[in-house]
Chains A and B, each alone.
Chain A
Amino acid sequence: MSGRLCALLTLLLVLSSLSMVKAQYQARHLFMQLETAQTMARRLDTEWSQLQLDQSNLGMHSRIEARARKDLGMVALSSERTQYVKVEGK
């Protein structure tokens, strides 16, 4: 009787140990994935601020004005040449 119980318990112990090894392996694996994702997030964050900066740089009013005047030959709006339109109900 006690011999059988012993064998059963041993089996259970082995199974539990194996599952723990597997769990640990999975944990490490997932952790690596998390790590990669976080690195990616940081990189994208840096890229995002770089793009914001680029947008600001390219959208500088002085640059737009220079391009509009020189390259496109535009002139500043004057009020004599402005037609104001009223939106219904406003």
Chain B
Amino acid sequence: MKRAAQAMARVAAGKGVPFVKNPMLAAQLPLWRSRMVMFVLFAAFLGLIGRALWLQAISNQFLKKKGESRYARTIELPANRGKIFDRNGQVLATSVPVKAIWANPEETLQASTEQLAALAKLLDMGVTELVKKLDSDRNFVYLKRQVEPEVAEAIMKLKIEGVQTRKESKRHYPEADVMAHVVGFTNIEDVGQESMELSQQKNLVGVAGSRYVIKDRLGHIVEDIGDVREPRDGKDLNLSVDSKLQYIAYTQLKEAVTKFHAKAGAVVVLDVKNGEVLALANYPSYNPNDRRAVTGQQLRNRVMTDTFEPGSTMKPFTIALALETKRVTPNTVFQTAPGKMTIGTATIGDSHAHGALTVSQIIQKSSNVGTAKIALSMPPQETWEMYTKVGLGQAPKFGFPGAVAGRVRPYKSWRPIEQATMSYGHGISVSLMQLARSYMIFARDGDMIPLSFQKLGPNEVPNGQQVISPQTAKSVRAMLESVVTPEGTAPKAQVASYRVGGKTGTAYKVVGRQYDKGRYVGSFVGMAPMSNPRIIIAVMIDEPTGAFHYGGDVAAPTFSAVAANALRALNVTPDSSVTNIIIPTDGVQESL
């Protein structure tokens, strides 16, 4: 029937029968069919509306992200590491921009042999070495880091597939070996490894920032979206060190170590007025800009991290304590003949018998017997307190990595012989920095102040802690000045036009558990000018192996040279009219 109707309709149309009269329309269809179509269409629309709602309102994160990734970019804003300056604003360490060269091995290995050869030459390595580096499964390999910008530019000009650069910074140390032990250095990741770079890492390091921006088709930044996180550069560091004094100290020390065939040496210069460290030199040193061949010996900071038995440089403390407690006066006479003294089973002695000496002369001639006699008249506890108050046996607190405490044994375990030897600096160990600082009580009027590695303001004077009276300090100063006369142990420490003073020290080195009588440490701690001390200089020469090994011979000349130059550099008014220095041919020999 259906087929017949269709045929009829076709025939009708063919005959020009109008559409409304088309017999097809007269055909009756079941109602459910139109309803079904209606329902399907409605359901499809509902589905579309639901999907649109889902994408637009509920789960819109994904699309938003996709959209933003087409135009928005996060830019890293690198922060600079703080610079390090000396007290006069001279740069000691600064970061300069360099490039890291990296490659995608798979792409790069397809370059021609000539290209690879040219690349290897610019990278300062052999072709085989370069190929070996590129032999990797990863798609990121560092070829060389910290490359100078000019070299990086030349490399990019080779246009080798897969070779890229990345911004980096490199630390430069213009003063090189002279300042190495003060400033230290950073590793390739810009993290401090030694000295000030290490201890001030937290302040020096910057915080990188970032910004979220819209970029146009050409890569120009069009707009900031969201907040800009500003990078915070590291804080600059102003050290108390004076590069001029440091240079003087370093060159003089180098000369002395070479001249006396010593293993090593160290010098420290302190400002008496406010406790600033003006110079800290070590030899042997190293170049922090090129550390390929640096040895542990060179890295070692002998001023801060090495302890040694100070020898006679400790004597003034015993004398100061005796003067302070009114047990002696500078003119009290002690009999040191015959230059030997037996305490218990041990015997101590002077190098020469001096006979009867006043307290002043005991310091001047550096008599062990005299010092021991005075020391034994005092209770151990008082001596121990004195040592502790001047900072011995405690690590100095000014944030220098690896600063050591030295060793002062608790007084309860002191036997008389130990008390005697300790009074002239044996059986006790100190660092050169501690030793230099302890002389503050003589250079200042009897008080101790903390030291500082950072530059202090003009009115920033640290609070002192009184250890001995100004009167005692003055008496000891007079004795220290007598040491550098032709009658004392250190005439070689004299300085033309300035009054100076100090104390020599010579000690055997402790090897294992006993003294090695063939190895010495010669030292000298002094101050200048004596009329109003401005600087303290401590010199230590480790294992001099030439003809000389006494502190008065190996360390005192360095003191003299450093003091003469430093006083002039600091514009200190001369306080003496003596310009020609007399050094006796047969000086007083120090007791060991």
* Chain A interface residues (CB < 8 Å from chain B): 27-28, 31-32, 35, 46, 49-50, 52-53, 55-57, 59-62, 77-80, 82, 84
Q: Report the Cα distance A77→B568, complex, angstroms.
A: 9
Q: Report the Cα distance A55→B573, complex, angstroms.
A: 30
Main secondary structure of the interface of A (DSSP, over half): helix
Structural contact, A52 and B94, CB atoms closer than 8 A: yes
Closest 9 CB pairs of A and B: A56-B174, A61-B247, A79-B497, A79-B496, A56-B91, A80-B579, A52-B91, A57-B174, A79-B579
Given A52-B94, A61-B243, are A28 and B221 also a contact pair (CB < 8 Å)? Answer: no
B564: min CB distance to chain A, Å = 8
User: What are some 30 contacts across the A-B interface (CB < 8 A)?
Assistant: A27-B223, A28-B222, A32-B222, A49-B80, A49-B83, A49-B95, A50-B96, A52-B91, A53-B91, A53-B94, A53-B96, A53-B172, A53-B174, A55-B90, A56-B91, A56-B92, A56-B94, A56-B174, A57-B174, A61-B244, A61-B247, A62-B178, A62-B247, A62-B251, A78-B496, A79-B496, A79-B579, A80-B496, A80-B579, A84-B573
* Chain B interface residues (CB < 8 Å from chain A): 80, 83, 90-92, 94-97, 172, 174-175, 178, 220-224, 243-244, 247, 251, 496-497, 564, 568, 573-574, 579-580
Given contacts A49-B96, A56-B92, A79-B496, 10 further A-B contacts (CB under 8 A): A27-B223, A28-B222, A28-B223, A52-B83, A53-B91, A56-B90, A56-B91, A56-B174, A77-B568, A80-B580
Residues of chain A within 8 A of B247, CB atoms compared: 61-62
Q: Report the Cα distance A28→B243, complex, angstroms.
A: 49
B512: min CB distance to chain A, Å = 40
Main secondary structure of the interface of B (DSSP, over half): mixed
Structural contact, A32 and B220, CB atoms closer than 8 A: yes
Closest chain A residue to B580, Cβ basis = A80
Residues of chain A within 8 A of B175, CB atoms compared: 56, 60
B249: min CB distance to chain A, Å = 11
Q: Report the Cα distance A71→B95, complex, angstroms.
A: 32
Residues of chain B within 8 A of A77, CB atoms compared: 568
Residues of chain B within 8 A of A61, CB atoms compared: 178, 243-244, 247
B151: min CB distance to chain A, Å = 16
Closest chain A residue to B220, Cβ basis = A32
Residues of chain A within 8 A of B220, CB atoms compared: 32, 35
Q: Report the Cα distance A41→B568, complex, angstroms.
A: 41
Q: Report the Cα distance A53→B97, complex, angstroms.
A: 12
Q: Report the Cα distance A77→B83, complex, angstroms.
A: 34
Closest chain B residue to A45, Cβ basis = B80
